[in-house]
Structure 1
Amino acid sequence: MAEDVTGLPGLPLRLGVMEVLGFKDPCEGDWARLRVVQYRELFNSALVRVVGHSVAALITVSLFLGNVSALLLGAWVIALALALGHVLTIERQLATLDRRLMTRAEFNRHCLSIAGLATAWSMTLLVFVPFGDPGEHATLWMLVAMLVAGSAVKLKQAPVITLTWAVIGGAAGLFSFLVAGDYLLAASCILYGFVIVAGSIENAKTFLTARIAEAGVAEKDEVVSLLLREFEEHQADWLWQIDTQRRIRGASPRFAYALSREARDVDGKLFMEMLAGPGWNSGNLPASLHELAEKLRRRESFADLVVQVEVPAGRRWWELSGTPLLDEEGNFAGFRGVGSDVTQERESSEKIAYLARYDTLTGLPNRLMLTEGLAEALRYAAQWKTRCAFLMIDLDRFKAVNDSLGHHVGDRLLAQVSARLQSVMTKNEQVGRLGGDEFAVVIRDASRSGHVEEVADRIVKAVSEPYLVDNHTLYIGASVGSAIGPRDGATVEALMRNADLALYQAKDDGGGKHRQFMPALHSNAQERLKLEASLRTAIGKQELELHFQPVVNARSENVVSFEALLRWNSKDHGFVSPAKFIPLAEDTRLIVPIGEWVLREACRHAMAWPEDIKVAVNVSGEQLLDPRFAQTVVRALGDAALPAHRLEIEVTESVFLRDGRTARQALEEVLALGCSIALDDFGTGYSSLGYLRTLRFSTIKVDRSFVQGAAQGSQESLAIINAVVAMAQSLEMSTTAEGVEDAAQAALVRDMGCTKIQGYYFGRPMGALEARSLVVKRRNTAAA
């Protein structure tokens, strides 16, 4: 198989006879490109051939001038001149093959022109010989043979020319000698033609092989030169070379540019001095330059060595590769190599490494770095038989700030919190951010008694101080949970998990406190997991039920509605308090399917009551954020055939803090159905009057804490109730006082203007049948 050695498609190294002659396409390569190599230089020998043909023509004319008529000789000379001129015209056109490819039509025309020229000379053997003697015959054959030989020599790259000459001229000679009866010379014509053609083909193969190899070398040289030029012209790459004294030799323009100097100012200077900059005199060199110097001293090859250099343009990072140079006798002659400026890549990688280990908002170590620090602290504690500690911090009331004032304020608040946490840390403590509003502290050595409590107290005190963010004075707090290693956990995962359990305990205890891990917290966590698992199957096992607490008209004391209250009687855990399982359902989003069940059941039971009795259902923020909430209400009303005006949705102000727009949109859809909305626990949360303006609440419910306080003579509670009642009247809303437990409290809130009352005095939460019986009983009593 032919091998392309030139880098140019179509120039194969191995050639057959027919491929050399041009009668067959090469097995590998391009016929046209091969013909270019053969024919582009034919015209260069035109002058020599013209002279040769002219001399041969003069000899021929002189031989036969007396024997052949002048007219015939003149006609032959003219035909020869025309044939020769035609050949040279075609070859002159082929001289442009350096810029184009040869066509098969041109190849055929040239072959025909050579055949015409050979025929012109062959005619002398066929026409002039009968007029001469045997000596002139031999002389004329010798002239033709010389022209064939000259073609083989001067046009060796195109053996088809010699073949044409040999075939036509040899045939004419053979025929003429056979006619003359000279069979020995006839045989010599055949032998001569065979030898001259074979030699011509071999010479052509040698010529073509040499030219193709030269073209390959030239092409490779051109490619190398092009690559070197491109390499030198690239702004970040350069070539460098130093001698045995480590002085720069032949500084390239790119290398000088990288050094922020002129090439003439660099040549001959110490390589290491140029790289070290001002640090050369002080000897304060980066470790990477010491490594480079050691490589040069040991005369070792190196590749992709990243070094820190100081140039007038500033600190840069270079990637250098180099290899020792040897002279002709094998002696060390210096170093040569390449270099590139990788400062941008280095800075990018350092930034990526920073982002991987530090929090972008606060600049504190992130979870990855904290876990690494805790792992190191545990190793230190195990080695030296000391103790370490891990503290988890959760910000109290941060979510309310973030939801009410926006994430930009929340982010600035987190930045201030981070700064305060850093300010109360010592070298023994590392603070970082785990994510959101959670932070953590690693105490490397916590052996001293009371040390963990001191750090936790500093944290709670520092975080609890007021903040000023965008003209807002903000108050938040911090809850802290801690675990001691290796006592509370010998691994990073165990210690972090136990500190998290302690943090849950601190939050459950009201926040703003520090709690240490205790083994009992594990059982609490396991109980929570079991409780969650049971809650997930509570609906299917029919463990949930609804109780209903009556709401009465403050004047007539007739029942006007019932509030549906969820109860859970678990087969595994017994009666579970709503205060325990409702927050769990909200944390796990089980409140959404449970809430759907409550809506369906409440509407179904309400259909058994008189038509003027409403049912009120509490809805959490998680339910309002569900895009299918309005559809759930429609389905519950439709399944029970309950009119929409008999369903009241109760919400607290907290539902607007997480995603106020979504919650408001969901409630507007419910209002459009004809349902009413009550605002529960008003005054205990954030009391944003904006919600009262944008949503048509039907009822504002006064929290039981204010009712109890007013009953005890609290002026603050009395003022709050009076304000709520006045505001509700101005907005044409009703007010419901919750937690009324006796007749005195009922009279008090009635006199203060509350329109509805709810509490144990008028009825505890009861089953659906009891609720219906209560309504019937009260109505019968009133009728009597």
Structure 2
Amino acid sequence: MTQTTAPASDPQAIRFSQLLGLRDGKDAAQWARIRSTQLDAGRQLALFLLSANLIGAAATVSLFAVQVPHAVLAGWAALVGIVSVGVAVRRLSTRHRDGGYATQADLRATAFEGLALAIAWSVPCLIFEPHPGSNTAYVLWMILSVLMTAGAVAMAPLALATIAFLGGLGLSVTVKLLVIGSYTAAVATSLFTVMLVFICLNRARSLVVIRASQMALGERDETVSLLLREFEASNADWLWETDAARRIVKVSPRFAYACGLDPVSIEGRPFLQVLAGPSWDTGKFSNGLRNLADKLKTRESFRDLRLPVEVDGQERWWELAASPRFDESGTFCGFRGVGSDVTEQRASADKINRMARFDTLTGLPNRLMINETLALAMADAESWSGRCAFMMIDLDRFKAVNDTLGHPIGDRLLSRVAERLGQLMGDHATCGRLGGDEFAVVVRDATNTAAVEALAQRIIDTLSRPYEVDAHTLYIGASVGLAIGPRDGRTAEMLIRSADLALYRAKDAGRGVYHAYEPELHVQAEERRVLEMALRQALEKGEMHLHYQPVVDAGSGTLKGFEALLRWSSPQFGNVSPAKFIPLAEEARLIQPIGEWVLRTACNEAAGWPSDVRVAVNVSPDQLQNPAFVTIVTSALANSGLSAERLELEVTESVFMHEGLGATKVLERILDLGVRLSLDDFGTGYSSLGYLSRTRFSSIKIDRSFVQGASKGVKEAIAIIRAVVALAQSLGMATTAEGVETEAEHRMVQDLGCTKVQGYYFGRPLPVEEARSLAIRQWGNSAVA
């Protein structure tokens, strides 16, 4: 558990372990600087300690010159000299200085210095034997006492070294006295040693406290100096002071300069008059000046009070703060405060505010500003029992411009759209950009519904005219959803929701039209929301299953395979049509997990069919946008054991509308696996012979609308089927006619050259058990034949 420590400037908070350098305090950087100060103090007294050791050694040699062999005495003196000089050199050569940083290891190392000195000086008292009856022992004790005192003085900043020296030497003397039976002297020596250690620790603690206080004061002085330098260096800040009558006194030059006046002429003038400037005579005061007058009148402290001030004919914005002054008797003396010129800050804030409420690309109000404008229009309509309107505008075919010509062209096109919208707005209408290719219009006065609807139509007509952008002639359109408030929504959020639902209806109606909100739109949206919630859980609850529709040879009627068709049986909604839930799954981003389940389920089922029967699975463009789709196909084949050539994936021409998303590359990788590829609903979408020739399709499926048209004798339908068959034959592809329901239609598609047929004439989509039986029965018949 971490122990919290107080600042080193508090003597009671300094722990013994911190003083010795055995651990850090809470502020490690502060203690590193304190340790550097301790080492620096020891360095300053290094020569004093050296002198005391050499003088003591000389006195000891002189004392024992006739009692101890000279060789022994000389060896000891040399030891003391070497240790003393070594300690002095270490202290003097230390890199630490006051204000620097030192580690705990640096401070701990000084203990070896004190211990070395203690060992060297323990030799005389433990080894040298004085003559009986002489006063040599007493003189030696005096020398050691003086030396211990000098060491306590010189080494006191280094508490660990001092304890090692005093403790080691004191212990040696005490042991010697106990051995010779001088118990009183031993006790006195122990007390003397403890006293010196205690004094040393107190001195070391005082040094630490003083240093910590100096550092704290230094930091505060530096901070204050920095603030003062910044204040003095800024021309936008000044001091001001008034007397009890609100007249300016003690005018600072900077305040006079900010006012554009002379310091002498401004002295004694009313503070409010100076700030009011020319408006003082007209009486047209700003709200900020009125607020300041109220504060001065009530003698209240204030801050962050902003007001406009005219200086040299230009409007500046000041920010003031002040407190009332009172003398010793409590009498009010006036105000003293500070002021700042915040004109640039205000301009910057206005710019930021504009950026927050206006679209940077078109310059129109953005979503936030439109919401605020609509909220005000709703409030006004409620106050005057009037009506307002809100239009949601979505550009048609704009995405194609971005995809084909790039975003820079798309951005310039949006700017042109914004210009045309702005020209249509009157005094009671505001247009804005919500984001992407969505715009909005707020009509504050919508009492004339016909006029609002006429505006919606003009918007569509105007935005649908061609655009010339960078030598490109661009054609787009617009769909508009219209909602009237408060009829279609009593809050801004509700009205936006209603206009959004109306916009969806306009797009469903074929785009290029406007649609007004109707109550049933909300009901349909709610039904759609509930259906989506149920769809999200359909897989987990096992509500989805596959039916399989036979695909047969057009000539012999032999079963060639099945097309897997997804079905949803919901306990809440019953059997939901694929035409209803497939688009919903694509919009709700559920088509990928559902499509993966269909693929794996179909592969697992087809693996149990005869080896010449294939299975076809429809693939959504959203699935092909997933880079992992190839891995999913590979996994489905591997886990089921189905050979790749027995799997056929059916895609529609809409896949090629988003070539930049990499769908064609995914198709090529799938073909490399050996999987067959079929182009479904050919001719009904965005046909491209270029893609057809570059992608290795195995077959083309002719939509049932052409089959039905041809059966009725429609020449165009017959011509299209013949053209598709001829195209497929030239490219080595098969053709499958969908929706064959009668024998006559069968004979017709045979005559036109289709190789395979599919439809109710040969079989409706079958449950899995019936499809399995049909496949096995067909295989049995083929084996007998």
1:562: which partner in 2?
A: 562
CA–CA distance in structure 2, aligned partners of residues 217 and 771 of structure 1: 92
Per the TM alignment, residue 617 of structure 1 is displaced from its structure 2 partner at its CA by 0.9
Deviations 1:473-496 (A, max 9, x none): 444333333333333332333333
Whether the 8 Å contact between 1:480 and 1:503 is mirrored in structure 2 is: yes
Per the TM alignment, residue 582 of structure 1 is displaced from its structure 2 partner at its CA by 0.9
TM-score (norm 1): 0.60
Whether the 8 Å contact between 1:481 and 1:501 is mirrored in structure 2 is: yes
Specify the SS of the correspondent of 1:373: helix
2:418: which partner in 1?
A: 418
Letter in 1 for 2:433: R
CA–CA distance in structure 2, aligned partners of residues 603 and 220 of structure 1: 78
1:252: which partner in 2?
A: 253
Whether the 8 Å contact between 1:630 and 1:669 is mirrored in structure 2 is: yes
Between the two proteins, what is the percent identity of the paired residues?
55
Q: 1:248 to 1:292 in 2, by over 3 A?
A: farther
1:429: which partner in 2?
A: 429
1:679: which partner in 2?
A: 679
1:75: which partner in 2?
A: none
- Corresponding position: 1:387 with 2:390: no
- Spell out the pairing of 1:506-655 with structure 2 (5 A cutoff): 506-553=506-553, 558-655=558-655
- Spell out the pairing of 1:337-486 with structure 2 (5 A cutoff): 337-486=337-486
Deviations 1:146-196 (A, max 9, x none): xxxxxxxxxxxxxxxxxxxxxxxxxxxxxxxxxxxxxxxxxxxxxxxxxxx
1:233: which partner in 2?
A: 233
Whether the 8 Å contact between 1:248 and 1:266 is mirrored in structure 2 is: no
CA–CA distance in structure 1, aligned partners of residues 601 and 699 of structure 2: 23
Letter in 2 for 1:633: V
Whether the 8 Å contact between 2:710 and 2:717 is mirrored in structure 1 is: yes
Per the TM alignment, residue 620 of structure 1 is displaced from its structure 2 partner at its CA by 1.4
Letter in 2 for 1:425: M
Letter in 1 for 2:648: E
Letter in 1 for 2:610: P
Specify the SS of the correspondent of 1:589: coil
TM-score (norm 2): 0.60
Q: 1:267 to 1:763 in 2, by over 3 A?
A: same
Per the TM alignment, residue 526 of structure 1 is displaced from its structure 2 partner at its CA by 3.1
CA–CA distance in structure 1, aligned partners of residues 248 and 650 of structure 2: 86
Per the TM alignment, residue 641 of structure 1 is displaced from its structure 2 partner at its CA by 1.4
Deviations 1:352-381 (A, max 9, x none): 322333333333333333333333333333
Per the TM alignment, residue 453 of structure 1 is displaced from its structure 2 partner at its CA by 2.6
CA–CA distance in structure 1, aligned partners of residues 330 and 400 of structure 2: 79
CA–CA distance in structure 1, aligned partners of residues 222 and 663 of structure 2: 73
Larger Rg: 1
Specify the SS of the correspondent of 2:538: coil
Q: 1:280 to 1:723 in 2, by over 3 A?
A: farther
Q: 1:503 to 1:224 in 2, by over 3 A?
A: closer
Specify the SS of the correspondent of 1:450: helix
2:286: which partner in 1?
A: 287
Whether the 8 Å contact between 2:561 and 2:615 is mirrored in structure 1 is: yes
Letter in 1 for 2:420: R
Letter in 2 for 1:539: L
CA–CA distance in structure 2, aligned partners of residues 727 and 314 of structure 1: 79
1:212: which partner in 2?
A: none
Letter in 2 for 1:499: A
CA–CA distance in structure 2, aligned partners of residues 266 and 723 of structure 1: 99
1:182: which partner in 2?
A: none
- Single out whichever of 610-619 and 663-672 deviates more from structure 2: 663-672
Q: Give the aligned CA root-mean-square deviation in angstroms.
A: 5.1
Per the TM alignment, residue 663 of structure 1 is displaced from its structure 2 partner at its CA by 3.1
Letter in 2 for 1:416: R
Whether the 8 Å contact between 1:644 and 1:675 is mirrored in structure 2 is: yes
Q: 1:459 to 1:766 in 2, by over 3 A?
A: farther
Q: 1:668 to 1:299 in 2, by over 3 A?
A: same
CA–CA distance in structure 2, aligned partners of residues 235 and 226 of structure 1: 16
Specify the SS of the correspondent of 1:654: helix
Whether the 8 Å contact between 1:704 and 1:737 is mirrored in structure 2 is: yes
Per the TM alignment, residue 576 of structure 1 is displaced from its structure 2 partner at its CA by 1.7
Q: 1:510 to 1:782 in 2, by over 3 A?
A: farther
Letter in 2 for 1:645: E
Per the TM alignment, residue 595 of structure 1 is displaced from its structure 2 partner at its CA by 1.4
Deviations 1:327-370 (A, max 9, x none): 99999999875433434432332233223333333333333333
- Spell out the pairing of 1:11-410 with structure 2 (5 A cutoff): 228-239=228-239, 252=253, 256=257, 287=286, 291=290, 303-308=303-308, 316-321=316-321, 337-410=337-410
Specify the SS of the correspondent of 1:454: helix
Q: 1:302 to 1:665 in 2, by over 3 A?
A: same
2:132: which partner in 1?
A: none
Deviations 1:368-416 (A, max 9, x none): 3333333333333333222333333333344444445444444443333
Deviations 1:217-252 (A, max 9, x none): 999999978754542212543446799998998663
Deviations 1:473-530 (A, max 9, x none): 4443333333333333323333333333333333333333333333333332332233
Per the TM alignment, residue 289 of structure 1 is displaced from its structure 2 partner at its CA by 7.1
CA–CA distance in structure 2, aligned partners of residues 435 and 222 of structure 1: 51
CA–CA distance in structure 2, aligned partners of residues 741 and 220 of structure 1: 95
2:493: which partner in 1?
A: 493
Q: 1:449 to 1:234 in 2, by over 3 A?
A: closer
Whether the 8 Å contact between 1:560 and 1:614 is mirrored in structure 2 is: yes
Per the TM alignment, residue 598 of structure 1 is displaced from its structure 2 partner at its CA by 1.2
Letter in 1 for 2:351: K
CA–CA distance in structure 2, aligned partners of residues 327 and 584 of structure 1: 79
CA–CA distance in structure 2, aligned partners of residues 756 and 578 of structure 1: 24
CA–CA distance in structure 1, aligned partners of residues 581 and 218 of structure 2: 86
CA–CA distance in structure 1, aligned partners of residues 406 and 698 of structure 2: 29
Whether the 8 Å contact between 2:272 and 2:289 is mirrored in structure 1 is: no
Whether the 8 Å contact between 2:389 and 2:445 is mirrored in structure 1 is: yes
- Single out whichever of 396-405 and 598-607 deviates more from structure 2: 396-405
CA–CA distance in structure 2, aligned partners of residues 284 and 681 of structure 1: 80
- Single out whichever of 300-309 and 415-424 deviates more from structure 2: 300-309
Per the TM alignment, residue 599 of structure 1 is displaced from its structure 2 partner at its CA by 1.0
Q: 1:327 to 1:529 in 2, by over 3 A?
A: closer
Per the TM alignment, residue 642 of structure 1 is displaced from its structure 2 partner at its CA by 0.7
1:20: which partner in 2?
A: none
- Single out whichever of 679-688 and 285-294 deviates more from structure 2: 285-294
Per the TM alignment, residue 677 of structure 1 is displaced from its structure 2 partner at its CA by 2.4
Whether the 8 Å contact between 2:621 and 2:663 is mirrored in structure 1 is: yes
Letter in 1 for 2:319: E
Per the TM alignment, residue 643 of structure 1 is displaced from its structure 2 partner at its CA by 0.6
2:697: which partner in 1?
A: 697
CA–CA distance in structure 1, aligned partners of residues 757 and 217 of structure 2: 105
Q: 1:335 to 1:662 in 2, by over 3 A?
A: same
Letter in 1 for 2:286: A
CA–CA distance in structure 2, aligned partners of residues 10 and 573 of structure 1: 77
Letter in 1 for 2:339: G
Q: How many residues align?
A: 578
CA–CA distance in structure 2, aligned partners of residues 223 and 615 of structure 1: 80
Q: 1:418 to 1:687 in 2, by over 3 A?
A: farther
Q: 1:670 to 1:329 in 2, by over 3 A?
A: same
Per the TM alignment, residue 596 of structure 1 is displaced from its structure 2 partner at its CA by 2.0
Whether the 8 Å contact between 1:233 and 1:254 is mirrored in structure 2 is: no
Whether the 8 Å contact between 2:238 and 2:252 is mirrored in structure 1 is: no
Deviations 1:644-670 (A, max 9, x none): 121122222334545743434543443
Specify the SS of the correspondent of 2:651: strand
